[in-house]
A = this chain, B = another copy of it.
Amino acid sequence: MDKPDREQRHRHRMQRKKEVVDKAIARADKEQGLLLILTGNGKGKSSSAFGMVARALGHGMQAGVAQFIKGRSDTGEEAFFRRQDGVTWHVLGEGFTWETQNLARDIETAQRGWAIVRAMLQDPSLHLVVLDELTYPLKFGWLDLTTILNDLKNRPPMQHVVITGRAAPEALCEAADTVTEMQDSKHAFRAGITAQKGIDL
């Protein structure tokens, strides 16, 4: 096959593909606040949520972030976003439950945290709300799933919410518009590499 032929076939194939893609895009014309779940054991759930915060701020939108569980305050994301306009940042956890070793305090911390989240879910000036690692307090039973689903459902119609964490409950995924399961095909940690600044924290 000579070169002009290859070029022409490529062009025809791409013209057909463009028609298919354009039609699919034309069909998707609804605008609404989305509920996204980023779950699974793979690396990239929280960082993806923070990337969406960056996108939102780039469009001049307002974002709110609540980090459950994570007790440390030396993460790159927190240092970075705290100095940005347009984003409010809450660290609601005191570390993983095997660090605190105090069940009553864990429950109290989580519930105090949810009261802060609820206020964000009632604030139409927030275009994006990130609930980072929310699945853990749910899994441990520190927060009531029905209450949370209800608060999510009653949020402003154009508000996006992104929830991260392993093992998202079935009912939460059912309520979501987009669910990504991040599969851990390979992880540097298992090869003895410690959490890296800029990558894992």
- Where the two chains meet, the residues of A that have a C-beta atom closer than 8 Å to any C-beta of B are 6-7, 10-11, 14-15, 17-18, 21, 24-25, 27-32, 34, 36, 38, 40, 42-59, 61, 63, 75-81, 96-104, 127-128, 160, 162, 173, 176-189, 191-199, 201
Whether A44 lies near B48 (C-beta < 8 A) is yes
Whether A6 lies near B103 (C-beta < 8 A) is yes
How long is the Cα–Cα vector from A54 to B38 in the complex, in angstroms? Answer: 18
The residues of B that contact A59 with a CB separation of less than 8 Å are 76, 79, 197-198
Whether A54 lies near B76 (C-beta < 8 A) is yes
Whether B14 lies near A101 (C-beta < 8 A) is yes
How many copies of this kind of chain does the complex include?
Answer: 2
The chain B residue with its CB closest to the CB of A24 is: B189
How long is the Cα–Cα vector from A11 to B179 in the complex, in angstroms? Answer: 34
Given A28-B192, A180-B185, A186-B176; A58-B78 close (CB under 8 Å): yes
Whether B36 lies near A43 (C-beta < 8 A) is yes
The residues of B that contact A177 with a CB separation of less than 8 Å are 186, 188, 191, 193
Whether A76 lies near B56 (C-beta < 8 A) is yes
Whether B56 lies near A51 (C-beta < 8 A) is no
Whether B10 lies near A189 (C-beta < 8 A) is no
The residues of B that contact A162 with a CB separation of less than 8 Å are 199
Whether B52 lies near A181 (C-beta < 8 A) is no
Most buried by B among A32, A48, A179: A48
Given A102-B11, A180-B183, A186-B173; A199-B55 close (CB under 8 Å): yes
